[in-house]
Amino acid sequence: MSLRGLLKPLLICVWFSGCVSNLILAQTPPVNPVEKISLYQQRAEQAVPDQEALAHSEKMLREHKNIKILDKFAVPNFHKQSGELETAPNTFCRNCHSPLPHRSQLRTRGFNNMHVRFIACETCHFRPKDVEFDYQWLDYDKQQSVNGQGLFRIGQEIDNAKQRPANPKIAPFKDGLPVIAFKDQSFSKEIADQWDKADTSAKVLLRAKLHLPLEKKGPECQGCHDEQKSLLNLQALGATAEQSQAMAKHIIPQFIRRYKKDDEHITIREMLR
């Protein structure tokens, strides 16, 4: 057999393989090489909700009520604060949740919503038991950690008319990268598109998958406001020793820990001791 005859089957094979490779590449959507797949996205995509989770998801969707947010809402004079309401425009959770998402617990919801200005949702609600996180200040615009020096606001000489910005926030990191999803990423946009096109049963499943990696209830106040054991290393996050001690001994977490009944109250005098 001639050399040409020997090479002909090989050339056909190479040509066919090239065609198949081009076909596969044409069918595969392009991936942004800069965009990382977060740990939360991995867990949400792998989630397999059981019947209990699906039933809870169906119940929450059925009982959902839209909330009207008042524009430029502010409490004048007494609290001396600006009316800025938006707390996290680029967080994935804001695809569905309001900027002040805590509503159910009358005793603590005001304090929880206050924390939204400087604590990422995932810090409290995404706490997988098989992973240890490092908590850092996260710049949502740059999607990377920033130095926390001067970001804590606690003490006597604070002008409440000047609110600290809602960006950055304390968020969970793993191997130097944030483990959360961002609203401007392709994953978030795909979820929003799926939700818009989904019927009720598809929404029940999608909601269950997104919430399965999360803890519905966040840690107790003393989970962070504690001298001995805290979820957050406050001084590593930029707090001074005095600020760390003030947060650990804060009167409001101590009150919430001691008193559980709705008819028990804390006075302004006790808060100012």
Q: What is the pLDDT of residues 260-269, one digit of tens each?
A: 676 766 666 6
What is residue 150's DSSP assignment? T
Q: Is the pLDDT score of 236 beyond 80? A: yes
Averaged pLDDT of the chain: 78
- Site of tokens 């947060």: 247
What's the pLDDT score for residue 74? 52
Token digits of residue 53: 């989770």
Task: Point out the least confidently predicted range of 31-45, 54-68, 176-190.
Answer: 31-45
The pLDDT tens digits of the residues spanning 79-128 come to: 445 555 666 678 899 888 888 888 887 778 888 888 888 899 999 999 99
Residue 101 corresponds to which amino acid?
P
Cis bond before residue 168 (omega within 30° of 0) = yes
- Using DSSP's 3-state secondary structure scheme, residue 135 falls into strand
What is the phi-psi region of residue 94: left when phi exceeds 0, alpha when psi lies from -120 to 50, beta otherwise? Answer: alpha
Query: What is the rounded average pLDDT of the residues 17-26?
Result: 34
